[in-house]
Amino acid sequence: MDKFEIARALDEISRYLELAEPSNKFKALAYERAARALRSQDRDVHDLIASGELTKTAGIGKATGAVIEELARDGRSPYLDELRARFPPGIFELLRVPNLGLKKIAILHETLGVGSLDDLEAAARANKLTTLKGFGAKTQEKILEGIDKARHRESRFLLPIALEAAENVREQLASIDEIDDAEVSGSIRRRLEVVRNINIVIATKKRDAVIAALLRVVENAAKVDDDTVKGILNGEMDVWFHLCAPADFGSTLLRTTGSVEFVEAFGRIPKAQDEADVFTRAKLPFVPPERRETADDLRRKRAPKLVELKHLRGTFHVHTTFSDGRNTVLEMLGAANERGLQYVGLSDHSPAAHYAGGLSEERLRQQWREIDKSLPEVAPLRVFRGTEADILPDGTIDYGERVLAKFDFVIASIHSRFQMSKDEMTERILLALDDPHVTFLGHLTGRKLLSRDGYSVDFDRVFEKAGARGVMIEINGNPNRLDLDWRHVPRALSFGVRFAINPDAHSIREYGALMTGTWVARKAGLGPKEIFNTRDADEVAEFLAERKRGAAGG
DNA sequence: GCCGTTTTCGGCCCGACTGTTTTCAGTCG
């Protein structure tokens, strides 16, 4: 096992310990810390073990060290196996219920034997929860509502997860000889941030043979009508296959890509093998799939040139192990280099974000030394020193004037007090936008797709101020956030706001959020010129320096 | 379970909020 797999196992032990020994929460915390300590190690875990330095690492002691050694050597830990055996396999699915944490889950399991959403619902409906210590009528009511939310979300999927599943299915189709062509359509092709099912268009001249073959590709496959087969993937995701003749592939692709409103506005769909020809024959300008949501999307006179991943020359909003990232400064910079980026803006958390390991001034200086040390190894990559600084409840920016002036750029984000009223929240953000050190506004609404609504805010007032102050609004590409929502972008544009596509990367892998962020920008109709990080390193450096001078000069 | 030291126990990150209490516990970020 590598360090990340081992760290995941340690996190799992930690979660089980909160259930198994709720009175000793620090034991669980110790395993969590050990996981974190391991992730932030530069060196290979097997080297650390061989040299005897493992347990000298801060946060890793005798017990956690022994578990790490077992996992590294055997790929399993008897201690973890034992813990798993003590609880029902689905017990952590209960965490999907809002406001239900491990402490309460432990009580529910211990006293009522609750081990799944179904168990929990039955217990709540039987009015059994109110009898438990720490639970009351309101909690029981909220849990019942929460179960509904958890179930509702169960059948919806984040775009990258659904896309990957869909592409896997499409690859399997390649082995079916009778299939001439296959393409993913539906909301996945439109790059909608949350989708409910997979749609795949299949071109074939031998319909019956393909239908027979499809029955083996997905579970519970069944013919809906002559052209449609429906099935289930991995026991959770609905898959629809749309069969058509090769000469009809383009038209079927258009029809099943949707949206329903867009297709209705399109009117009669001419037959064509190629989708672009469908538009030509209908005497309509081609509309990229991402832009096919409303009837208006068809009426635009000129299709704008949409931004593409390859246009992004660099990126901002990247975390490292100095705060809550999982890869070191060098690893994050190296990965950016491998992606062919010209520049990276590192931005770890500020002190107010305690839970995320926000950086003190001393830790900042250490990080800057580490950046300097790493630069020769990642040349010619340019590195900008930034921060993701908390917008405090009163609207001031964490760190304060003296420290903020030292950064090349500042991303201002809200990480606390989400439940303020709309007016209070708006005022808070407006005040933050007035701080001359702020370069970007981070994840504007704080939403987490499928788990948490964003806080309420007066968008127009925020856009107006951001436009006036020249503060760019981040399009956070983290698939869980995708915040700013593409639906709000046109309004922001009308106030002169500019954007940056930021990955909010907490690991090397999460640079992938540049792709999802680009999808959002495309859905919003943005071109390369409207995205700050399509500019080259010199332009960006000049812009940031100029802004800094403005902040200093007042 | 880990760590440090005023070495072998006591603290471990913290503040807001909510619902449960009657002074606090669990959850969240």
The string of pLDDT tens digits covering residues A85-137 is 999 988 998 998 988 999 999 999 999 999 999 999 999 999 999 988 889 99
Q: Å between A523 CA and B12 C1'?
A: 47
Domain annotation for chain A: domains and CATH numbers: 1-86 (1.10.150.110), 157-289 (3.30.460.10), 309-553 (3.20.20.140)
Q: Which of residues 32-91 of A touch strand B (CB under 7 A)?
A: 33-34, 55, 57-65
Q: Å between A22 CA and B21 C1'?
A: 20
Q: Å between A65 CA and B3 C1'?
A: 15
Closest to A442 measured CA to CA, from A399, A487, A472: A472
Mean pLDDT of A285-312: 91
Q: If you search the block for the tokens 């702020």, which residue do you land on?
A: A438
Nearest nucleotide, CA A61 to C1': B2
Can you give the pLDDT at residue A186?
A: 97
A246 touches strand B (CB under 7 A): no
A149 touches strand B (CB under 7 A): no
Reduced to 3 states, what is the DSSP secondary structure of residue A420?
coil
Nearest nucleotide, CA A129 to C1': B20
Closest to A502 measured CA to CA, from A410, A366, A408, A425: A410
What is the spatial distance between Cα A12 and Cα A9, in angstroms, rounded to a whole number? Answer: 5
Strand partners, A229: A223, A241
Strand partners, A412: A389, A441
What is the spatial distance between Cα A275 and Cα A250, in angstroms, rounded to a whole number? Answer: 4
Mean pLDDT of A532-551: 96
Mean pLDDT of A187-204: 96
In order, the DSSP letters of A221-266 are EEEEETTEEEEEETTTEEEEEEEE-GGGHHHHHHHHH--HHHHHHH
The string of pLDDT tens digits covering residues A322-342 is 888 888 899 999 999 999 999
A303 has pLDDT over 70 = no
Q: Å between A93 CA and B11 C1'?
A: 32
A394 touches strand B (CB under 7 A): no
Q: Å between A520 CA and B21 C1'?
A: 47
Can the peptide bond before residue A413 be classed as cis, meaning omega within 30 degrees of 0? no
Q: Is-contact A391 A412, C-beta < 8 A?
A: yes
Question: Residue A312: which region, alpha, beta or left (left: phi > 0; alpha: psi -120 to 50)?
Answer: beta
What is the spatial distance between Cα A30 and Cα A10, in angstroms, rounded to a whole number? Answer: 10
Nearest nucleotide, CA A59 to C1': B2
Give the model's confidence band at A354: pLDDT under 50 very low, under 70 low, under 90 confident, else very high. Answer: confident
Q: Which of residues 16-35 of A touch strand B (CB under 7 A)?
A: 22, 24, 26-27, 29-31, 33-34
Q: How far is CA A152 from CA A145, A146, A149, A230, A445, in A?
A: 11, 10, 5, 21, 22
Residue A489 CA from chain centroid, whole number: 19
Q: If you search the block for the tokens 């999808």, which residue do you land on?
A: A519
The string of pLDDT tens digits covering residues A481-511 is 999 999 999 999 999 999 999 999 998 999 9
What is the spatial distance between Cα A316 and Cα A338, in angstroms, rounded to a whole number? Answer: 16
Nucleotides of B under 7 A from a protein CB: 1-4, 11-21, 25-29
Q: Which of residues 293-352 of A touch strand B (CB under 7 A)?
A: none
Which residues lie below 8 Å from residue A74, measured CB to CB, with a gap of 6+?
none
Amino acid at A149: K
